[in-house]
Structure 1
Amino acid sequence: MDALAVQSGAVGLLVVYGSLLAAIVLSPTFGWTTSALSDLGAVDAQRMWIFNGGLILGGFLLAIFVRGIVAQTTHRTKQLGAIVLGTAYVLSIFVGVFPHPTPLHNPVALTQFALIPIGLSIYAIGSLSQGVSTMGLAATVLALSAFAGVGWLVTVVSGGSQGIALPELVVVASLDIWTLGMLFQRVKR
């Protein structure tokens, strides 16, 4: 994998989590159990550009990294899993472009949340079909974590609450931990 892709992945994670942390610290109203992460970038949020800009730039950089993984991987199932996960990062861009409560925000965000556990599962199946590996086992655990996060999110919303930030974080962090693992693999080589 070329150095640009690896650097894009590392910087992308820093941008996403740096902007998330900055938006949380600067938000006078955000609460982990009372808000959605998208509230940080909502149309009426004071510093919406911090959160949305982080999603747009970070999503772009992380999509470049995952494209490098797809190009380097010869196993078709792992490639498909990486393509699905790369699509989830592209959707991050659109979550930032279409902030809450614009009409396209929810469909884009929900599609992203659906793709993350699916992509991790496909990647895990591909990895494990080649034999037990650390990355295959990690992808399996992360897929289960992402599915649990989606289930938690559905439960919270079904209960009438808007406080979905924690389940959202479980889902997206599952993808980002996979990305971090893939980064470490590339750097070790």
Structure 2
Amino acid sequence: MADRKRIATNCGIAGALVSLGAILLATVLAPPETFTWQGRALSDMGRYGAPTFPVFNGGLILGGLVGLPFAWRLWIASRNVLERAGIALLAIAIAGQIGVGIFFLEHTAVYLETSLHGVAALTVFGIAPFASWVYGTGAALAGDGRLAVASFWFGNVHPVVWLGWLFAIGGALDTGTWFAVPEFVAAVAFGGWILSLAVAVRRRPDGEPAGARNDNELDVPSR
């Protein structure tokens, strides 16, 4: 059991690094006609026919699949219902990431008549901050202050960067100007949060942080 827990924890670290690494590598390899920070979205690197198609989509799918076992590790180490709710949202966000790779831009030219790319992307960017906030609330109730603060701030990055982008472009929602920048920052925030969770769990073999109280423990009066 201990080996499975350790492997699942490492899956969280590996999944986040693979996903972010694939995005970064794709930005380096993508030619200007298919991707620029100023005028494209990250998903343009995974568009059907783009040179970076396999790197971008493959990295998101592989990173998500590798990272999913970490949700199980978090679940068995959870200490209350709010942490478990945050973990469920985390798993949904990771599934959305996998969906971005599967339902790449213009996937309708290959399969399905309805594009599901937008739904998958909204699942990641829309649910990820709530996963952080809900889990962070549970961590706070469990007495794990450092993890709670980290979770809240990683979650806060998402609305801050999107609102900052909207302000910078003058509120024009129909433009793709610099759209890849808030996408990338949000992706880093999501991956960074997962890494912080993995490191926190890895440091406590029994899955319980120092000083935190187990919900099943009873108060024992001192004698």
TM-score for the superposition, normalised by structure 2: 0.78
Relative to structure 1, the CA distance from residue 85 to residue 150 in structure 2 (aligned partners, 3 Å threshold; closer, same or farther) is farther
Residue type matched to 2:122 in 1? L
Q: CA deviation at 1:99?
A: 0.5
2:42 to 24, 34, 37: 37
Paired residue for 1:158?
173
Paired residue for 1:84?
89
Question: For the Cα contact (< 8 Å) 2:64–2:98, is it kept in 1?
Answer: yes
Paired residue for 1:94?
99
Q: Does residue 137 of the first structure (1) align with residue 153 of the second (2)?
A: no
Provide structure 2 residue ranges, at least 5 long, that are not aligned to the other structure.
Answer: 108-114, 205-223
Post-superposition Cα deviations, 1:151-175, rounded to whole Å, max 9, x if no partner, equal: 3466656152253111112222222
Relative to structure 1, the CA distance from residue 163 to residue 43 in structure 2 (aligned partners, 3 Å threshold; closer, same or farther) is farther
What SS does the aligned partner of 1:43 have? coil
Paired residue for 1:20?
23
Structure with greater Cα Rg: 2
Give the alignment of 1:105-120 within 5 angstroms: 105-120=117-132
Question: For the Cα contact (< 8 Å) 1:67–1:83, is it kept in 2?
Answer: no
Post-superposition Cα deviations, 1:99-137, rounded to whole Å, max 9, x if no partner, equal: 013411011101221101111111121122234611101
Q: Does residue 176 of the first structure (1) align with residue 194 of the second (2)?
A: no
Query: Could you tell me how far apart the structure 1 residues matched to 2:72 and 2:39 are?
Result: 36
What SS does the aligned partner of 2:178 have? coil
Higher helix share: 1
Relative to structure 1, the CA distance from residue 17 to residue 87 in structure 2 (aligned partners, 3 Å threshold; closer, same or farther) is same
Q: CA deviation at 1:187?
A: 2.6
Question: For the Cα contact (< 8 Å) 1:125–1:136, is it kept in 2?
Answer: yes
Q: CA deviation at 1:95?
A: 0.4
TM-score for the superposition, normalised by structure 1: 0.90
Query: Could you tell me how far apart the structure 2 residues matched to 1:9 and 1:131 are?
Result: 23
Query: Could you tell me how far apart the structure 2 residues matched to 1:113 and 1:183 are?
Result: 20
Relative to structure 1, the CA distance from residue 74 to residue 128 in structure 2 (aligned partners, 3 Å threshold; closer, same or farther) is closer
Query: Could you tell me how far apart the structure 2 residues matched to 1:184 and 1:104 are?
Result: 33
Provide structure 1 residue ranges, at least 5 long, that are not aligned to the other structure.
Answer: none
What SS does the aligned partner of 1:158 have? coil
Residue type matched to 2:92 in 1? T
Q: CA deviation at 1:64?
A: 1.4
Residue type matched to 1:73 in 2? S
- Number of aligned residue pairs: 189
